[in-house]
Structure 1
Amino acid sequence: MVSRMKNVSQSQHQVALFSGIASLARSYALRLLLGVCALLSVSVHAAQVEATVSKNIVAVNEVFQLVIAIDSNVNPNSLDLSALEDNFTYGRPSVSSNNSYTNGTLSSSTQWRIAIAAKKVGNITIPSFRIGATASEPIELQVLKSANATTSNEPNIKLSSSLDKPSLYVGESAQLTVRILIAEQLDQAALIAPEAEGIDIVQQGEDKQAERILNGRRYIEITRQYQLTPFESGDIVLKGAQFKTSIVKGSRGFGSTLSVPFEKQAENITLTVKPKPKNYQGLWLPTADLQLEQTWQPSSTTARVGDPITRTLTLSIKNVAQSSMPNLNIDYPRSVRVYSEKPIYSQDNGYTRMVIKQVIIPREVGSLALPPLAVNWWNTQSNQQQTTRVEGLAIDVKEGDLSNSVQLPILNDPSVQTTNDTARPVEVKTVKDAGVWPWLTAIVTSLWLLTTGFWLKARQRNLTQVPSPQHAGHTRNATPTTNEQVFAHLLAAVKANQPIQVQSYYQQWQRSDFQASYIAQVDNEINAMMKAHYSTDSHTWDNQALIKLLEKANKQRHQASTQSALAPLIPSDSNKKQ
């Protein structure tokens, strides 16, 4: 009995235990369900998207703030702003995320701040923005003109242009000055040049930048100049220069900046272009002022053969493009060699300046008249033709004086007496008597042999007296008198790389017995030598080619002299018959 009661008591205890466990499980399940519901309610609340603006009434291009927020941590790239592009300009968003615990509750948020500006006047709607499954409400805006707004939003940028003269001749140049005053923060600015049909427009120099204060406001002033050169006559409309940029706005407390596009164009200008007068003679050169100057170095009225004379010409023309500068062609006499340097151009105070240097080397003794230079031009101030002129120079050219003081006489000077060192052809008389002819031949042959021997000895003596390049400067009294001596001095000067000596000796060398093609080769080499020493792009000259040409001439000359001496000793067939 007692055992049965114990079993019943144990069963009741087990039932009560299971009942308590079940009740505890139901309690935890209920709490878990409530927690899940709470989390679901938080999740549902975080999915809400909200859009707000800093003001509802704005002016065109006035920058204001748009804020879009969602109560959740989401990817910053989840927001698509492309719906604003039709009616608004906007900057790069400033994104922030926040997590916080309040009374044991976790809350999260993501926020985008954007600077925007309306493009046009009227009632404009900011569209809704969808993030995930939810979207914001659209916002209605009233956009006014800047003049009706409470504050002016016109960008503080001023653009102007000025032309130094509204009337020009064809080919005459004018200066157009464009100025920009800027008191805004800009991004990527560009100035587009003015345009016109029938006018060449070229920017002059670099932009100039300075600071100016107007009505207490600080400005950055940018100045650019253009040169206008019309090539057609008539009334031509010049389209004003155009300034394009983006103005940076919205940086004061907005959290983002906005680049608002801005364009402004200078006023158009009508240009009157007059044609060339029909009675004008010469190269057409219209300008308000033309100046031509020259210098001589040395300025003496006497010179020697081979001495270089430098003539420097400076031509300055007002309001003329470099491409319109004339070529200064001077017809020098054939008794000089002229080596001209390349012109050097520069710009100064509205003038285009051209400087030309010429090296003039006299080749002959006597009076030398270096020609003047005259430039015809049209004075646009007085509307008449003018001529600006520089005088030439009269020079008395004397016998050559080398740079190392070796005197170089001219062979055709009557005061120079030639010696009998050069072998002359033996005069042969024709004898009709055949019996006497063999005796005469023997006598003439003997005489020729004696003459040839004396000539060879004299030639050897002359060659030993020719100064070497190393000692040329110490042989003041070694004056060449024969063509062979001149040739020997010429060859020595070439080997010593003395251009002035080469030029002087070459003019004295009698070279009429040589072929024209050979003389042309020698001329080219000597010209190359002179340019290498006197042109602007001077360089080291290789004398080997000229030395080979001269040595070839020396060999041909010996062969020719031998043949000319033997020829009279050989009787012709007609003489034999006689």
Structure 2
Amino acid sequence: MHRHYCARILFGLLMLLTTAIQAAEIQVAVDRNPVSLNESFQLTFTASDEPDGNPDFTPLQDNFQIISQQRSSNSSWVNGQSSRKEQWIVRAMAKQAGDLLIPPIAFGADSSKPLKLVVSENTAAPQGNDEIFLEVTATPEQPYVQSQVLYTLKLFRKVQITQASLSEPEIKDALVEKLGDDSTYATQVKGVDYWVTERKYAIFPQQSGVFTIAPLILNAEYLSNQRQPRFNGFFNRPDTETRRVASKAITLNVQAVPASFKSPNWLSAESLTLSETWSDAGLQTKVGEPLTRTLTLSAKGATVGQLPELLGKTAIDGIKTYPDQPLLKEDKQSDGLTARREEKIAFIPSKPGEYTLPALDIVWFNTKTQKMETGHLPSVKLKALASAEDTQTSAQPAAADVQPEQPNSQIAASPITVTSSGDTLFWQGCRRPWRWAGC
């Protein structure tokens, strides 16, 4: 009985020793320590033997953002002995500054050891020698409500970016429109050469008050800045780094509609044009035929939703009107957004005569001069001519009008013959022309 008990203890110790021998040792290393808050770093987990299972990197996500993962294996035969090495490379970025702990990572029953990482706060403004930085501006910073604000983003870089993602401008109670295509050019900052990618937006605050345009966030992966490109041995890719870059926040003090603006319809713009064209330059037509008027309103620094209706609702006696659906268009150029509204209306007169269309006035606020102005079209006189049928009917004389005047009874007693000579008629036997009642 005692022998069996000792054998069991010995067997258990052997099993524990075997398990300890078979457990894979997993080492963890970081490419640099400390690291900056907005810079990526590389964690390398290395196992000399195949671990018990695949790694579970979920605990890393508490304090770190996992950007990418790679795995490689390498086998070698040296002096008659074989060796195998497994590696997992994780590129990550800290979510907060401070002394952070890389937690133990489980590989099935195996596990790596914890590692302390120092993450420093990096809030210094760009000094002109950073690999990547952002600059943003907003003009004006004290706009009027519903007026255009030009928001310009510039991405400066002196390294080659392989891939990147950029957030969009966010501001409460505002319309945001991207303007045109991005432009790329070269420049110098404090004697350092940079490539610049410039992007512009038009922002239209819809409420007055103080608003903040949140910082834009750029996540960029770029080639390491080294004299000689160094390639890793796993997927034959060059070494890259990932960095998160944030722009500054911008505060807008949005002003309400000025008290001097008396029109009920608020319209602000940098410039405004109001024009008209007609299907007939002489401004005339015939009864029953259309005469088409085209009105065009163009405003730079405004949206189509701000442009008012152009055609009046006043009825004109003797003319029927047939308006078309308005055409709305926005032109997005790098210098701002231009809104355009076009309206067409056909005038068809029901009787001949002259008709007067009232003047058209569009009151607007010039954001450059800070003054109220008026787009004006003068009143217009239209002429309606009689139709061809009306002209032909009015040109035919009545039958009673062409009957000659009956002569008096004395002349009628004798037979009389009427002859013509030129345009003058004569009585035969009477030398007086038929312009007199008697001979």
TM-score above 0.5, yes or no: yes
The aligned residue for residue 275 of structure 2 is 293
Deviation per residue, 1:201-247 (Å, 9 max, x gap): 223355521112232111322222223344x5xxx112114423433
Pairing 1:53–2:26 present: no
Contact map agreement 1:295 1:312 (CA 8 A) in 2: yes
Pairing 1:273–2:256 present: yes
Tell me the amino acid that sits aligned with residue 97 of structure 1. Answer: S
The aligned residue for residue 43 of structure 2 is 66
Higher helix content, 1 or 2: 1
Aligned pairs for 1:182-197 (under 5 A) are 183=157, 184-196=161-173
Contact map agreement 1:90 1:258 (CA 8 A) in 2: no
Q: 1:194 to 1:147 in 2, by over 3 A?
A: closer
Rg comparison, structure with higher value: 1
1:173 alignment partner, SS class: coil
C-alpha displacement of 1:95: 1.7
Q: 1:338 to 1:322 in 2, by over 3 A?
A: same
2:317 alignment partner, SS class: coil
C-alpha displacement of 1:371: 1.1
The aligned residue for residue 379 of structure 2 is 391
Aligned pairs for 1:552-567 (under 5 A) are none
Identity %: 21
Q: 1:265 to 1:304 in 2, by over 3 A?
A: same
Q: 1:416 to 1:165 in 2, by over 3 A?
A: farther
1:300 alignment partner, SS class: coil
Higher strand content, 1 or 2: 2
Of the three residues 75, 78, 83, the one matched with 1:99 is: 75
Contact map agreement 2:141 2:251 (CA 8 A) in 1: no
Pairing 1:111–2:82 present: no
The aligned residue for residue 330 of structure 2 is 347
Distance 1:57 1:382 in 2: 53
Deviation per residue, 1:49-85 (Å, 9 max, x gap): 333333444343444433222222346x522223333
TM normalised by structure 2 equals: 0.67
TM normalised by structure 1 equals: 0.53
Tell me the amino acid that sits aligned with residue 86 of structure 1. Answer: D
C-alpha displacement of 1:312: 1.7
Distance 1:267 1:160 in 2: 8
Contact map agreement 2:294 2:342 (CA 8 A) in 1: yes
Tell me the amino acid that sits aligned with residue 360 of structure 2. Answer: A
C-alpha displacement of 1:313: 1.7
Q: 1:289 to 1:219 in 2, by over 3 A?
A: closer
The aligned residue for residue 228 of structure 1 is 205
Deviation per residue, 1:170-193 (Å, 9 max, x gap): 6x5223323241535554432133
Distance 1:359 1:284 in 2: 29
Tell me the amino acid that sits aligned with residue 272 of structure 1. Answer: Q
Tell me the amino acid that sits aligned with residue 249 of structure 2. Answer: A
1:323 alignment partner, SS class: helix
Distance 1:249 1:205 in 2: 26
C-alpha displacement of 1:158: 0.9
Tell me the amino acid that sits aligned with residue 377 of structure 1. Answer: V
Pairing 1:356–2:332 present: no
Q: 1:54 to 1:163 in 2, by over 3 A?
A: closer
Distance 1:63 1:85 in 2: 14
Deviation per residue, 1:279-338 (Å, 9 max, x gap): x36655455544322222212255432332222222233444322322220535332222
Distance 2:25 2:271 in 1: 79
The aligned residue for residue 202 of structure 1 is 175
Distance 2:337 2:169 in 1: 23
Q: 1:364 to 1:266 in 2, by over 3 A?
A: same
Deviation per residue, 1:517-542 (Å, 9 max, x gap): xxxxxxxxxxxxxxxxxxxxxxxxxx
Instruction: Considering Cα pairs closer than 8 Å and 6+ residues apart, tell me whether 1 or 2 has the greater RCO.
Output: 2
The aligned residue for residue 314 of structure 2 is 331
Deviation per residue, 1:36-57 (Å, 9 max, x gap): x9xx999927733333333444
Corresponding pairs, count? 359
Of the three residues 118, 128, 133, the one matched with 1:157 is: 133
Q: 1:82 to 1:62 in 2, by over 3 A?
A: same
Pairing 1:179–2:162 present: no
Distance 1:153 1:62 in 2: 16
Tell me the amino acid that sits aligned with residue 55 of structure 2. Answer: L
Aligned pairs for 1:220-259 (under 5 A) are 220-230=197-207, 236-248=209-221
Any stretches of 5+ residues in structure 1 without a counterpart? 1-36, 402-406, 421-578
Distance 2:100 2:116 in 1: 6
Contact map agreement 2:205 2:254 (CA 8 A) in 1: no
The aligned residue for residue 418 of structure 2 is none
Q: 1:195 to 1:265 in 2, by over 3 A?
A: farther
C-alpha displacement of 1:398: 3.2
Contact map agreement 1:194 1:242 (CA 8 A) in 2: no
Deviation per residue, 1:480-519 (Å, 9 max, x gap): xxxxxxxxxxxxxxxxxxxxxxxxxxxxxxxxxxxxxxxx
Distance 1:281 1:219 in 2: 44
C-alpha displacement of 1:400: 0.8
Tell me the amino acid that sits aligned with residue 326 of structure 1. Answer: P
Deviation per residue, 1:254-298 (Å, 9 max, x gap): 6687766555453112122244448x3665545554432222221
2:172 alignment partner, SS class: coil
The aligned residue for residue 315 of structure 1 is 297
Tell me the amino acid that sits aligned with residue 177 of structure 1. Answer: Y
Contact map agreement 1:313 1:356 (CA 8 A) in 2: yes
Q: 1:375 to 1:331 in 2, by over 3 A?
A: same
Q: 1:57 to 1:306 in 2, by over 3 A?
A: closer
1:306 alignment partner, SS class: coil
Q: 1:87 to 1:249 in 2, by over 3 A?
A: farther
Distance 1:373 1:221 in 2: 45
Distance 1:165 1:247 in 2: 29
Pairing 1:373–2:359 present: yes
Contact map agreement 1:146 1:154 (CA 8 A) in 2: no
Root-mean-square deviation (CA, aligned residues, Å) is 4.0
